[in-house]
Structure 1
Amino acid sequence: MSPTYPQLLARTHGFRLGRPQRISLTPDGRRVLFLRSRGGEDPVRRLWQLDLETGAERLLADPLAAGAAETAPTAQEQVRRERARDKGSGIVDYSFDLDVRVVAYTVAQELHRVDPWTGEGARIPARTPLTDAVLSPDGTAVAYVHAGALRLIGADGTGDRALAEPESPDVTYGLAEHVAAESMDRSRGHWWSPDSDRLAVCRVDNAPVGTWYLSDPTHPETPPVAHRYPAAGTANAVVSLHILDRDGGRVDVDLGWVGYEYLVAVGWDAHGLLAVLQNRPQTVMRTVAVDPGTGQVRTVAESRDAAWTQIVPGVPARTASGALIGTADLGDTRHLTVDGEPVTPAGLQVAEVHGCDGDTVLFGASEEPAERHLWTWNPDDGVERVTTVPGRHAGIRAAGTTVVNSATPDGHAVTVAGRTVKDLSAASPTVPTVSLRKSGERALRTAVLFPAGWQGERLPVLMDPYGGPAAQRAVADRDAYYVSQWFADQGFAVIVADGRGTPGRGPRWERAIRGDRSTLLLEDQVDALHAVAAEHDELDLTRVGIRGWSAGGYLAALAVLRRPDVFHAAVAGAPVTDHLLYDTHWQERFLGDPRRDPDAYRKSSLIDDAAGLERPLMLIHGLRDDNVYPVHTMRLSAALLAAGRPHTVLPLPGAGHMGPDVDLLTPQLRFLRQSLNIN
């Protein structure tokens, strides 16, 4: 029996299975390594190599052929997958030495190696289960984490030993704490020195952090799982940085932590060790150079902002000549800076630095918010654009070779040196037809989708936003619209709009939501709806639904609670209903510290709005969600019940924030059709 489209979406992970991912380029620019499964419904990732001189692809490691059976993930591995939004299986990650003589990779929470020239491989007998394994630059040893300890083992499988062991159950070495991985884009907790003699290592003490519990009601015999979760206004983990050498020596880094609770980034290159610190209010971000021999630091750059200092992935970085690469928010533009001086023009919004190749910097930036292009800067040529096709482009560069990872309205492709890395993903039987436009007086970037074959008949409307500061939805990328097109084909006009607070339109646009996560977000959705309706009188504004997940789930519930005159039904998946119940770093960035400014949290909470619910509302939540905990849905549901307001709750046992690989779209469609009186 053929699967339905929603089932196919789930089985193919949104038609992404079979695509190359975790792409890297060897230092000589001659080979591309990447992970890819064998097809569009195969979740098992294998390690591949593309030789750019011959164009030949070669399978380097197959976990099934190596006999590495997939095992049930440990609690730590489940946490890693949630933070990384990783649903796949097989090879988790890999690393290689500077000469690319050996590749170390992890599968089934075990460590393996392979010779990329001969294809010969073997299991490295490290302690299991393990995580975050990284090969030293000289290829002689692998650092990894087991049971909270940072350990070292020779690449030949000898000499396994602990470099740092936790002093208590609340301490870990070599891992990123929750807010670093979830909210600061730092998933690592240890970094090799370029000479492979030492490592910079995070020590995390979670003792001050509150303990939250998740249970599985389908297995009442299983005890709840404890998590350390730093909710807004509560204590953070205590994070420190240490230099460990391979012989057991240790130097404690004096970061001057008073007021600086967050370790944002660490980088170690030929010019030395850098660390980035941020204070609790996030108004100051400081880059320091660390002397690994003494642990002393000196400030090399600092940024300040009355609202918050923005973390940009990939910075700081340094060119071959030692120039410090960063960003600066000046007026309404996020600029690339070189040794503190802006080098990009006004209106070009820098989103990410992809790395330095010699004195050339590769970075991603937007002139048009719906697109993101690759650009380069170097001291001779200045700023130059690399990509031209409308879309969302990322990349890596080494030895003058650039790998371009492109997502466009026509599909996805990874290209390098005139070659395309094979994409084995399944083709969608439905291709989204998207109209991107600028809506209303604020030129809100908006995508509009109609049913395939639509002849102009009157249509109910479905708003399908995200609306949060973590991502954009109205973008020139076909992948963003498979679900939206499916809903459109069920008889809706679907509108996807990015309002104030979303990335890509500059610092002022992002910071407009400071102190209020509700008013402007909702206002922009209403404005986008009315702007599109002014162009299409076929839209039936008496039947308007809204759906979303996470920040989009919050926005959907907010819409029917506060604007029932506009929105007539909502589906809210994994909604943040009370911002006090989300983490410190993320929420305090936008709403401040609730111990000093509780009103901002009250204004943005949905709990007090429960008594006013007039429209049908469906709440969906994974009961193993350790990002937006199920308490968000449960507390809103309890408040609705106390107020006598009927609503629907769809619990998902065993599911995390990513949701399960099952059809969740059909229940939403049935609810919306019934609620909006659609036959």
Structure 2
Amino acid sequence: MTTSYPRLAARTQRFTLGIPRNLTISPDGATVRFIRTPDGVTALGQLWEYDVASATESLLVDPVALLGEDGEQLSPEERSRRERSREGSGGLVGYDVDKTGRWACFTLSGQLWAVHLGAKAVHSLPSVGAVIDPRLDPTGRLIVYASGGALRVIGVNGQDERALVTPESDTEVWGQAEFIAAEEMERFRGFWWAPDGQSLLVERFDDANVQTWHIADPEHPERTPVARRYPAAGTPNSDVTLWHVDLDGNRTQVEWDRAAYEYLGRVSWSADGDPVIQVLSRDQKSSLILSVDVATGRTNVLRELTDPAWVELSAGPRFAPGGALVTVEDLDGWRRILVDGTAITPDGWQVRGIVEVFEDCVVASASQEPVEVNVVRFGLDGTVTPITEGAAVHGALISGPTTVISRSALEAVGTTVMVHREGAEPAPITVVSETPPHHPEVRLLLAGKHELRTAVLFPRDHKAGSHKLPVLMDPYGGPHAQRVVASARAFLEAQWLADQGFVVIVSDGRGTPGRGHDFERAVQDDFAGVTLDDQVDALAAVAEAYPEDVDTSRVGITGWSYGGYLSALAVLRRPDVFHAAVAGAPVTEWRLYDTCYTERYLGDPNTQPDVYDRNSLIPLAPALERPLMIIHGLADDNVVAAHTLQLSSALLAAGRPHTVLPLSGVTHMTPQEVVAENLKLLQVDFLKSALDV
């Protein structure tokens, strides 16, 4: 019996299992370590080691050997942390290596483990509670980890386990990132070692003022609803502070104007200078990059950033070797690397992230064409030297004489990971991902006046000009998420949908990354107008490009999260264009979504209620005249099920028929094989029926 594509995609986590991840390189460049599952279908991360000189791999840590038949047990805190980072795997999902390259540590099933890398010996360490995010000190003597709201320390030899700082209330937490930092600021850590291993910077947050929501399990009414602190737009955030803590537990608070700059966005501490932090105002229109005097807790302003829309957090502001300050900032329309306030990246380059900082250059991931990401060396003298080239998505890691480059492209479904060492031929690290059952046939075009990067996929057996096909728009469409990239794996599901009898269109409208300052900020105060208009423009451009193949009288739209919002919005506001929609986990009322994301784009609902009203789906309910299916996981603590229930109530009150599919026990992710398979099949059947396919 042939396994369906949706089930294969769920089983393989969209064909990412088996790809090396979490790579680190030893300081001398001799060893590469990484997490990889044993094959393409087993979601159990193992720790591997690659010897650069011999190009051989060896297994360091096998979770099955450590846990035996008991298997892995996750704490609620760890489950929540993985939900924030969209982590679907088990076993090892992270690890840390000290700067000497002698020790590694990790958490497995809530326990603390250490690896002597020279002897390749793995042993468990005594720990208290469920271990979260263990980190070795740079000298390889101690491990610090978060547990039960406290931050604790233990020697790598298992001796002297103790608390460094402990909470004074059940809403106080030390050493972890608060919800907003992890969900919306891509900061998942809550403590940072000093380069000498003698002290740390530690976040403390208190959720006492954050409102409590309750996530119930209607399938099991005997269970008590789970209480979650959720900072919805316009309501209080966590109270976040930063402290310098020494190994005796003495602490000094880091001082900045927290009333004016509520968010702690970035923290770094290298051997090249004092710690550097970036703080952000609640309205996100101003930000400070500060150096920290750890002895006194006082801070000094290094950079002050402002933007009439919002300031993007820098990709890790830090001091470079030699003491120069390196930041990533929006300047003159482009996201650029600045060194001591002077841009070193020219017009036309959009910086995606920093790979490594050197005294004479910065290596970064960057784009000229938005669908491509390359690795580039930007010299302080103005030189630009591409390290990778071509229509692909690249990533890199550098240490000493060794560089590791990952690459995925359109010509082949899969990712390669190559080790480059000075004076030697590049060699691959093994990828054991499953081979997908098909290769996407992707056509890329520039759509409309904004030249929206748009992908078009036809059924693989379709003969051009033979007959017109119904259309399925498949957007995300919201800020900070790019769907159209030069990677075949990104379009596997889109090709499967096309093979069901549709022309599938994936288009990145305004607000999505890679296109510069003004393109991203066009959505300010106007999700409902700008992002929907761009999908309409993309459809029109595709119909014009393929007039004999596209039937614009039968257009469906489907999406998840922001894509779910956009799909429901499409049939509510533009039934003349869109004839059916499937909305997965949609945000229907932005007052119910979190502070940092929503206020960045729509402002404060207490001062701009009209903006929220204009962008809400609830007032549009009486306008529904097209088939609409809404899907929502009842255990979702990010886009809570109240979004769907409120829209459904409004539709019912207006007498508008619609379909609601509740998913018991499912969060914002849907990793279960059977759920994912049947969910996708039901969506396709719904759209086929609605569009007369």
* TM-score category, normalised to shorter length: over 0.9
C-alpha distance in 1, partners of 2:356/2:614?
A: 41
| Map of 1:494 onto structure 2 | 504
Shifted more, 240-249 versus 403-412: the winner is 403-412
Residue 488 (structure 1) shift: 0.4
Residue 317 (structure 1) shift: 2.2
Indicate yes or no: 2:680 matched with 1:665: yes
C-alpha distance in 2, partners of 1:596/1:405?
A: 46
Q: Which of these residues, 541, 544, 547, is aligned with residue 534 of structure 1?
A: 544
**1:328-376: per-residue Cα shift (whole Å, max 9, x none)?**
3223211111111111111211121123245432211111111111112
| Map of 2:222 onto structure 1 | 221
Q: Secondary structure at the match of 2:80?
A: helix
CA contact (8 A) 1:394 1:405 kept: yes
C-alpha distance in 1, partners of 2:175/2:562?
A: 30
| Map of 1:302 onto structure 2 | 304
CA contact (8 A) 1:374 1:394 kept: yes
Question: Against the structure 1 CA distance between its residues 60 and 358, is the aligned structure 2 distance closer, same or farther, given a 3 Å change threshold?
Answer: farther
Indicate yes or no: 2:413 matched with 1:413: no
The residue type equivalent to 2:688 in the other structure is R
| Map of 2:279 onto structure 1 | 277
C-alpha distance in 2, partners of 1:133/1:59?
A: 21
| Map of 2:47 onto structure 1 | 47
**1:598-653: per-residue Cα shift (whole Å, max 9, x none)?**
11111110000011100011111111111111111111111111111111111111
C-alpha distance in 2, partners of 1:70/1:240?
A: 37
CA contact (8 A) 1:232 1:594 kept: yes
Q: Which of these residues, 572, 581, 591, is aligned with residue 561 of structure 1?
A: 572
Q: Which runs of 5+ in 2 are unaligned?
A: 421-425
| Map of 2:173 onto structure 1 | 172
Indicate yes or no: 2:643 matched with 1:629: no
| Aligned pairs for 1:594-673 within 5 A | 594-661=605-672, 662-663=676-677, 664-673=679-688
CA contact (8 A) 1:19 1:424 kept: yes
The residue type equivalent to 1:666 in the other structure is L
Alignment: residue pair count: 677
Residue 37 (structure 1) shift: 0.6
Q: Secondary structure at the match of 2:415?
A: strand
Question: Against the structure 1 CA distance between its residues 376 and 70, is the aligned structure 2 distance closer, same or farther, given a 3 Å change threshold?
Answer: farther
Residue 70 (structure 1) shift: 3.3
C-alpha distance in 2, partners of 1:225/1:130?
A: 21
Residue 506 (structure 1) shift: 0.2
C-alpha distance in 2, partners of 1:399/1:551?
A: 41
| Map of 1:549 onto structure 2 | 560
Residue 92 (structure 1) shift: 2.5
CA contact (8 A) 1:332 1:508 kept: yes
Indicate yes or no: 2:593 matched with 1:593: no
CA contact (8 A) 1:165 1:173 kept: yes
C-alpha distance in 1, partners of 2:319/2:440?
A: 41
| Aligned pairs for 1:199-214 within 5 A | 199-214=200-215
The residue type equivalent to 1:64 in the other structure is V
Shifted more, 250-259 versus 425-434: the winner is 250-259
| Map of 2:493 onto structure 1 | 483
**1:189-221: per-residue Cα shift (whole Å, max 9, x none)?**
000000000010001010111111111122221
CA contact (8 A) 1:357 1:398 kept: no
| Map of 2:334 onto structure 1 | 333
CA contact (8 A) 2:269 2:318 kept: no
The residue type equivalent to 1:99 in the other structure is T
**1:233-267: per-residue Cα shift (whole Å, max 9, x none)?**
11011100111111221111112212110000111
C-alpha distance in 2, partners of 1:566/1:336?
A: 42
Question: Against the structure 1 CA distance between its residues 79 and 316, is the aligned structure 2 distance closer, same or farther, given a 3 Å change threshold?
Answer: same
Shifted more, 358-367 versus 226-235: the winner is 358-367
The residue type equivalent to 2:180 in the other structure is V
Q: Which of these residues, 416, 424, 433, is aligned with residue 425 of structure 1?
A: 433
C-alpha distance in 2, partners of 1:218/1:355?
A: 49
CA contact (8 A) 2:72 2:91 kept: no
Q: Which runs of 5+ in 1 are unaligned?
A: none
The residue type equivalent to 1:46 in the other structure is Q
| Map of 1:11 onto structure 2 | 11
The residue type equivalent to 1:77 in the other structure is E
Q: Calculate the TM-score normalised by the size of structure 2.
A: 0.96
C-alpha distance in 1, partners of 2:10/2:256?
A: 45
C-alpha distance in 1, partners of 2:138/2:176?
A: 20
Q: Secondary structure at the match of 2:511?
A: coil
Q: Secondary structure at the match of 1:277?
A: strand
| Map of 2:91 onto structure 1 | 90
| Map of 1:579 onto structure 2 | 590
C-alpha distance in 2, partners of 1:122/1:321?
A: 39
C-alpha distance in 2, partners of 1:234/1:361?
A: 40
CA contact (8 A) 2:73 2:110 kept: no
| Aligned pairs for 1:27-46 within 5 A | 27-46=27-46
| Aligned pairs for 1:38-77 within 5 A | 38-67=38-67, 69-77=70-78
Q: Calculate the TM-score normalised by the size of structure 1.
A: 0.98
C-alpha distance in 2, partners of 1:583/1:272?
A: 33
Shifted more, 29-38 versus 393-402: the winner is 393-402
**1:409-430: per-residue Cα shift (whole Å, max 9, x none)?**
1231111211111110000011
The residue type equivalent to 2:521 in the other structure is R
Residue 401 (structure 1) shift: 2.4
- Let me know the Cα RMSD of the aligned residues: 1.2
| Map of 1:675 onto structure 2 | 690
The residue type equivalent to 1:667 in the other structure is L
CA contact (8 A) 1:321 1:359 kept: no
Question: Against the structure 1 CA distance between its residues 381 and 400, is the aligned structure 2 distance closer, same or farther, given a 3 Å change threshold?
Answer: farther
C-alpha distance in 2, partners of 1:160/1:31?
A: 30
Return structure 1 stretches of 4+ with deviation > 6 angstroms.
Answer: none
Indicate yes or no: 2:463 matched with 1:452: no
C-alpha distance in 1, partners of 2:326/2:386?
A: 18
Q: Secondary structure at the match of 1:480?
A: helix
C-alpha distance in 2, partners of 1:643/1:373?
A: 51
C-alpha distance in 2, partners of 1:615/1:276?
A: 47
C-alpha distance in 2, partners of 1:405/1:129?
A: 33
The residue type equivalent to 1:584 in the other structure is T
CA contact (8 A) 2:407 2:417 kept: yes
Q: Secondary structure at the match of 1:65?
A: helix
C-alpha distance in 2, partners of 1:360/1:583?
A: 38
**1:551-593: per-residue Cα shift (whole Å, max 9, x none)?**
1111101100000000000011111111111111111111111
Residue 470 (structure 1) shift: 2.0
